[in-house]
Chain A
Amino acid sequence: MPIHEATYLQWEGAVLERPMTWFVIARTGVRLVWRRLLAILLFIAAIPVIFRGGQIYVVTRVDVGELPARLAGALQIDAGFFLNFMKDQIYILVPIICICGAGLIASDRKYKALPLYFARPVNFWDYVSGKFLILVFYGGLITIAPALLLFVLQILLTSETGFFNAYYLMPLSIIATGAVILVVHGGLMLAVSAFARGIRSAVVGYFALIFIPNLLARILSVFREVRWISINRNIEQVASTLFGRGNPYSYPVWVGGIILAGIVVLCLAVLRLRIKPTEVVK
């Protein structure tokens, strides 16, 4: 008589009536990405945070009035400090988004995994929001989380309440700016990943969409104000308003806002078009 026989065993448990499949997709994706080179990259991304943290430490410990005016101005901790930090972090965010996001949908399409998702209680929005949250998690670690950390550090290190009284709404500006950055860059990466045939072409496509308009805007702006063609310039324009600073470029902020909203809508349309449970060969 066999001591163990392989047979089909019935499962006595019960499945959740409304499973949060978007959360399962996001959690699994975050774990998967973490195993790659991301830990090293996040460490590299932490360098500017350490640098800015050092700046806060110096400013709160040294009498700034004794420093030359130019240096004192550069070291000042105000809304501009946090705005510049967020703007700088975009350039670290781009490679991180590439590593995390290029394969998110492209690999699923390459390995024909979509029917495995959509034959389960997963719909288009569950799938897309799950994948998007993976980018939000890592993108947030680069942008929102360190900016909030620096804000807290500034409050903890300064003995006066003046800073807090002046900038108590700063966390909201940080979160709103982070949201704009992540929605635009995350949406763009997902759309490119859905459109591309593989990870490599997704990376190339994403870089092209970010840097080519940027370069064109730089060149053409010598003759005319066309910085609105650059995604990052539009983000900077909107972010400056969110931080209560003046517009850095000479076109209205609503133009930037509409262009960014248009990009997000376009990305959603591409995702709708490309994410099909099955590919039909015509």
Chain B
Amino acid sequence: MSVTLQDFTVSYGRVTAVDRISASFPPGATGLLGPNGAGKTSLIRGLLGLVPPSFGSATILGRDVRREQKLIRQLIGYMPEDDSIIPGLTGIGMVRYAGELSGMSGVDAMQRAHEVLFLSGLEEARYRKVETYSAGMRQRIKLAQAIVHDPKLLFLDEPTSGMDPKGRLEMLELIRMIAGRNRISIVLATHILVDVERTCDHVVIINRGKLLKQDSVGEIRRQYAGTFSVRVEGPKERFEEVLRSRGCGITPDGAHRFDVRLPDGGRTELFFEAARDSGVQLRRLLPSVQTLEDAFVKLVGSDRHADS
């Protein structure tokens, strides 16, 4: 596992940003998904020791985050969410500096800085002061400084924020390319689900500091694949009764609508048979979860619902 968490908690005074999360991030690309304020950034900061964890334990690449901080920081790369740059330096200067701070020799850091800036699409702007960079360029230079020392694990915090659509696609392509190298694992923290779907194999969903779900992207899609959104006209209760008798799970969703989860192996014909038997008109029948986004909305929505 690239990251394991056991009751991991991060607090800022009385505010608990990450609340006893136990999870594991397998090697490869993992999406850390959650709405704004879910605790994604706090979780990453806690793992990197930028904010001291208040409870629980965690390991990164098998090393304890409390006791082996310095070693861990040599093995990881971090692209912060904030608009962080090191002022006064040129693009090449900043990436070289980042490499040297990670323990590379000056010559290696300079050579590698040219490589990663070329890869990040900043080869034309590498001799410009970083303060003059646009928002998209700053995202790219942050990625370049994070990968200059060829880390084993890369934490990317909202890597596409502030980028135009073309730049966003290029950034995602770049992340996919890096994740495609078997040696590098990626933790991609974002609230943009499409980004996770495009780049990640696994997903960890958190909301309000708590873990909601962790699984592979495919498995999450599959788990929600047999769920349908149904609307009927007529004796709704009778229709629900028939469906329940045939092994379906039902969650109300408004006066005439409900989500129906088919039993294992169940087919959509079942809805038509139930409608016929209960004497209702079937006005709507749609797969309710088609994408990770739908699953995410459902999970976060049900979390809010459960809380209220």
Residues of A bordering B, CB below 8 Å: 6-11, 13, 15-17, 19, 21, 24-25, 28, 32, 103, 107-108, 110-113, 115-123, 277-278, 280, 282
Complex formed: what's the CA distance from A121 to B104 in Å? 12
Given contacts A21-B101, A277-B50, contact A120 B86 (CB under 8 A): no
Decide if A110 touches B12 in the complex (CB within 8 Å).
no
The yes or no answer to B211 lying at the interface (CB within 8 A) is no
Decide if B149 touches A11 in the complex (CB within 8 Å).
yes
The yes or no answer to B83 lying at the interface (CB within 8 A) is yes
Selecting from B72-80, B200-208, B213-221, B297-305, the interface stretch reads B72-80
Decide if A121 touches B181 in the complex (CB within 8 Å).
no
Decide if A116 touches B86 in the complex (CB within 8 Å).
yes
B120 to chain A, nearest CB (A): 9
Q: Which of B82, B93, B105 is A112 in contact with, Cβ under 8 Å?
A: B82
Decide if B45 touches A278 in the complex (CB within 8 Å).
yes
Decide if B45 touches A8 in the complex (CB within 8 Å).
no
Residues of A within 8 A of B64 (CB): none
**Would you mind naming 5 contact pairs between A and B with Cβ atoms under 8 Å apart?**
A24-B101, A120-B102, A121-B101, A122-B73, A278-B50
The yes or no answer to B48 lying at the interface (CB within 8 A) is yes
B50 to chain A, nearest CB (A): 4
Residues of B bordering A, CB below 8 Å: 12-13, 15, 45, 48-51, 70-71, 73-74, 76, 78, 80, 82-89, 93, 97-98, 100-105, 108, 112, 115, 118-119, 131, 145, 147, 149-150, 177-178, 180-181, 183
Contacts beyond the supplied A11-B112, A108-B87, A119-B73: 12 A-B pairs with Cβ under 8 Å: A19-B101, A24-B100, A24-B101, A32-B89, A108-B86, A111-B131, A113-B84, A113-B87, A116-B78, A116-B85, A116-B86, A116-B145
Complex formed: what's the CA distance from A110 to B82 in Å? 11
Q: Which of A9, A17, A115 is B80 in contact with, Cβ under 8 Å?
A: A115
Closest chain A residue, CB of each to CB of B101: A120
Interface of A is mostly: loop
Decide if A280 touches B12 in the complex (CB within 8 Å).
yes
Q: Which of B13, B103, B119, B180 is A19 in contact with, Cβ under 8 Å?
A: B103
B137 to chain A, nearest CB (A): 14
Complex formed: what's the CA distance from A78 to B308 in Å? 83
Decide if B101 touches A115 in the complex (CB within 8 Å).
no
Residues of A within 8 A of B102 (CB): 15, 19, 120-121
Complex formed: what's the CA distance from A110 to B84 in Å? 9
Closest chain A residue, CB of each to CB of B76: A119
Given contacts A11-B150, A15-B104, A112-B83, contact A119 B78 (CB under 8 A): yes
Closest chain A residue, CB of each to CB of B184: A8
A143 to chain B, nearest CB (A): 25
A119 to chain B, nearest CB (A): 4
Residues of B within 8 A of A9 (CB): 115, 119
Decide if B82 touches A24 in the complex (CB within 8 Å).
no
Given contacts A103-B87, A115-B50, A119-B78, contact A10 B183 (CB under 8 A): yes
Decide if B51 touches A115 in the complex (CB within 8 Å).
no
Residues of A within 8 A of B93 (CB): 28
Residues of A within 8 A of B131 (CB): 111
Residues of B within 8 A of A278 (CB): 45, 50-51
Residues of A within 8 A of B181 (CB): 8, 10
- Shortest Cβ-Cβ A-B pairs, 4 listed: A15-B103, A11-B150, A19-B103, A277-B50
Q: Which of A19, A111, A122 is B85 in contact with, Cβ under 8 Å?
A: A111
Given contacts A278-B45, A282-B13, contact A121 B103 (CB under 8 A): yes
